[in-house]
Amino acid sequence: MTAIANVAISKKGLQRLRQGFVWIFRSDLDGKTDAEPGAIVKVIDRGNNFLAYAFYSQSELALRVLTREDRLPDRAFFGRRLDEAIARRARYFPKSRDAMRVVHGEADMLPGWLVDRFGDALVVQSMSLASDQREPMLIELLIERFKPRAVVFRDDGMTREYEGLDDRKGLAHGTDARAAFHEGEIAFEIDLLADQKTGAFLDQYENHLLAAEYAKGEALDLFCYHGGFGLQMAKRAARVTCVDQSELAVSRVKANAERNGLANVTGVAANAFDLLREHEQAARRFDTIVIDPPAFAKRKSAIEAAYRGYKDLNMRAMRCLEPGGILISCSCSAKMTRDLFEEMLIDASRDAKRRMLILERRGASRDHPGLAGVPETEYLKCFVLQAVD
């Protein structure tokens, strides 16, 4: 076995580590290192004292901390981390829940990895060279524990470009990438290789169920993907229109509506910005509107444009609400902080000249936990608002 390389960190890096940060950037390294990209390295201070083991990357995100215990992480270590992630979720999810995020990267102390379960199939997503290199090991550990029918790897997340990694995807186990799962009582079918993300937006699972409680009358689900919000709302609303620019997504909405015997759902393939503008100009009114756009602000520099984009969308949606109508407004941009998102909503309500109540301020489902003090692990906002009059 090759020797484990040392990586020394600066005082600032040490401070970040002590605060519980799990990422150390290149600017917080102290001097040069001969560490191989992708290797597990020993993180030390200037005095040569052991601090942690970490995955090393050649990118700006140099270190992803694995453990502060002075024992080299091996296969059994990763197996234990996986067992812990599974056990945490078993405490708050019923056995009957057949879809969940099993591993949420840094928050589960398995940096660079996401694992989603959909029924008897699993999807793994890797975000760094170190996690790419050990992906076969993770898949073996998952197969031992879940005995899945299929395992798909979807190494095509946004951050790979930043790490200088090419996208790749395929079936690692089994023969069929299609999967079936439920959110509450609604049944979904997905294709783990052809659909977006890892197949579904499980981070919104609990918000989807919540939308059903608020739904009424005419409902609009903008940026609907497979109808996660819309199909839940269809149980209570008179009619639901689900809108997405992806034809494939809209075809899934239609198939899912039929599968669940929901005859009051219409799927529309259209640009949601244009459609909302048209509704506003035509003075169309809705009792319930959901907005869940893709991340506008992936980088900090784009934040002002993103703010304007969100504000415009929310302002128009507010204008289209019936008195007493509900707006469920989401943002998955990590750069759009919770405070800024709320400020934007207030700003939008002023321009829309609608008095709005904030009923709920929510985030991602519990299987996508944020690590306290590490803002990078929290990204999803989901606010529920009501028009007063």
Separation between Cα atoms, residue 370 and residue 389, nearest integer Å? 36
Stretch in the footprint of ligand SAH (CB under 6 A) among 58-66, 125-133, 165-173, 268-276: 268-276
- Site mask, ligand SAH, residues 223-262, x = CB under 6 A? xxx--xx-------------xxxx--x-------------
3 class by beta-carbon count within 10 Å (0-12 exposed, 13-18 middle, 19+ buried):
exposed
The whole-angstrom distance between residue 73's C-alpha and the CA centroid of its chain comes to: 27
Contact with ligand SAH (CB under 6 A) among 271, 324, 357, 360:
271
Contact range with ligand SAH by CB under 6 A, out of 13-21, 149-157, 266-274, 302-310: 266-274
The window from 6-14, 75-83, 163-171, 265-273 that contacts ligand SAH (CB under 6 A) reads: 265-273
Quick one: 23 or 296, whose CB is closer to ligand SAH? Answer: 296
Shortest separation between residue 99's beta carbon and ligand SAH, angstroms? 12
List the strands of the sheet with 286-291, edge to edge: 265-269, 239-244, 218-222, 286-291, 321-331, 381-387, 356-362
Is there a catalytic annotation at residue 332? yes
Given the structure tokens 């289209």, which residue do they identify? 320
Site for ligand SAH in 191-230 (CB under 6 A): 196, 201, 204, 223-225, 228-229
Options 224, 330, 332, 382, the catalytic residue? 332
Least Cβ distance, residue 292 to ligand SAH (angstroms)? 4
Cβ closer to ligand SAH: 144 or 167? Answer: 167
Say which residues have a Cβ less than 8 Å from residue 389's Cβ, sequence separation at least 6: 323, 324, 355
Residue from 122, 262, 272, 326 in contact with ligand SAH (CB under 6 A): 272
- CB closer to ligand SAH out of 7 and 272: 272
Question: Among 121, 222, 216, which residue's Cα sits nearest to residue 176?
Answer: 121
Residue 312: is it exposed, middle or buried by C-beta count within 10 angstroms (0-12/13-18/19+)?
A: middle
Helices (H), 4-103: 11-18, 75-92
Q: Is 89 or 226 the residue whose CB approaches ligand SAH more closely?
A: 226
Q: H-type helices in the chain, by residue range?
A: 11-18, 75-92, 129-133, 135-146, 205-214, 228-233, 247-259, 272-281, 303-319, 338-352
- Judged by CB under 6 A, does residue 276 bind ligand SAH? no
CB nearer to ligand SAH: pick between 13 and 309: 309
* Binding test (CB under 6 A) with ligand SAH, winner from 20, 294, 323, 373: 294
52 vs 249 by CB, closer to ligand SAH: 249
Distance in angstroms (rounded) separating the CA atoms of residues 230 and 289: 10
Ranked by CB distance to ligand SAH, the top (closest) residue is 228
Report the C-alpha gap between 49 and 17 in whole angstroms. 14
Give the tokens for residue 319.
Answer: 């204008």
Question: What part of residues 16-75 is at the interface with ligand SAH (CB under 6 A)?
Answer: none
Cα–Cα distance between 305 and 321 in angstroms, integer? 25
Q: What residues act catalytically? A: 332
Q: Provide the binding-site residues for ligand SAH, judged by CB under 6 A.
A: 196, 201, 204, 223-225, 228-229, 243-246, 249, 271-273, 292, 294
